[in-house]
Amino acid sequence: MTEKATLNIADKTVEFPVLKGTLGPDVFDIRKLYSDTDTFTFDPGFTSTAACESGLTFIDGDKGILLHRGYPIDQLASKSNYVEVCHLLLRGELPTAAQYEEFERSITMHTMLHQQFDRFFEGFRRDAHPMAIMVGAVGALSAFYHDSLDIHDPVQRNISAIRLIAKMPTIAARAYKYHMGQPFISPRNELNYAENFLRMCFAVPAEDYVVNPVLAKAMDRIFILHADHEQNASTSTVRLAGSSGANPFACIAAGIACLWGPSHGGANEEALNMLKEIGTPDKIPEFIAGVKDKRYKLMGFGHRVYKNYDPRAKVMQESAHEVLAATGRENDPLFQVAKELEKVALNDEYFIERKLFPNVDFYSGITLSAMGFPTTMFTVLFALARTVGWISQWQEMMEDPSQKIGRPRQLYTGPTERDYVPMSKRG
The count of residues interacting with ligand SDX (CB under 6 A) is: 21
Nearest to 244 by CA among 390, 94, 405, 31: 405
- Catalytic: 146? no
First to last CA, the chain: 64
Site for ligand SDX in 343-372 (CB under 6 A): 354, 356, 359-361
Strands (E), 220-348: none
**Closest to ligand SDX by CB, 45 or 123:** 45
Cα distances (angstroms) measured from residue 392 to each of 45, 227, 235, 349:
23, 10, 10, 40
Q: Least separation, in Å, of the C-beta of 350 and ligand SDX?
A: 8
User: Quick one: residue 380, left, alpha or beta (phi over 0 = left, psi -120 to 50 = alpha)?
Assistant: alpha
Where does this chain touch ligand SDX (CB under 6 A) — which range of 196-204, 258-266, 324-332, 419-427? 258-266
| Dihedral (Cα; 78, 374, 193, 91), 10-degree rounding | 70
Return the SS3 of 374: coil
| Catalytic-labelled residue, pool 68, 129, 179, 303 | 303
Name 301's bridge partners: 358
Helix axes 82-91, 97-108, angle to 10 degrees: 100
- Catalytic: 303? yes
Q: Least separation, in Å, of the C-beta of 192 and ligand SDX?
A: 24
**Residue 308 phi/psi, 5° resolution?**
-150, -175
Binds ligand SDX by CB under 6 A, chosen from 130, 139, 302, 311: 302
**Closest to ligand SDX by CB, 175 or 316:** 316
Strands (E), 251-338: none
Helix axes 130-140, 378-398, angle to 10 degrees: 30
314 touching ligand SDX, by CB under 6 A: no
User: Count of CB atoms within 10 A of residue 296's CB?
Assistant: 12
Where does this chain touch ligand SDX (CB under 6 A) — which range of 4-12, 107-115, 173-181, 296-304? 296-304
**Closest to ligand SDX by CB, 158 or 273:** 273
Where does this chain touch ligand SDX (CB under 6 A) — which range of 97-105, 201-209, 303-311, 372-380? 303-311
Q: Least separation, in Å, of the C-beta of 117 and ligand SDX?
A: 28
378 touching ligand SDX, by CB under 6 A: no
Site for ligand SDX in 226-255 (CB under 6 A): 229, 232
User: Count of CB atoms within 10 A of residue 46's CB?
Assistant: 13
Is 103 within 8 Å of 160 (Cβ atoms)? no
**Closest to ligand SDX by CB, 113 or 251:** 251
**Helix residue spans in 26-150 (DSSP H):** 33-37, 73-79, 82-91, 97-108, 118-122, 130-140
Binds ligand SDX by CB under 6 A, chosen from 41, 263, 280, 336: 263
Name 60's bridge partners: 65
| Amino acid, res. 218 | A
| Catalytic-labelled residue, pool 220, 228, 310, 361 | 361
391 touching ligand SDX, by CB under 6 A: no
Binds ligand SDX by CB under 6 A, chosen from 91, 217, 276, 297: 297
Cα(350)–Cα(289) distance, integer angstroms: 10
Return the SS3 of 4: strand
267 touching ligand SDX, by CB under 6 A: yes
Binds ligand SDX by CB under 6 A, chosen from 250, 303, 365, 392: 303
Is 359 within 8 Å of 317 (Cβ atoms)? no
Where does this chain touch ligand SDX (CB under 6 A) — which range of 81-89, 242-250, 297-305, 336-344? 297-305
**Closest to ligand SDX by CB, 113 or 259:** 259
**Closest to ligand SDX by CB, 136 or 266:** 266
Interface residues with ligand SDX (CB under 6 A) are: 229, 232, 263-265, 267, 291, 297-305, 354, 356, 359-361
Q: What are the catalytic residues?
A: 303, 361
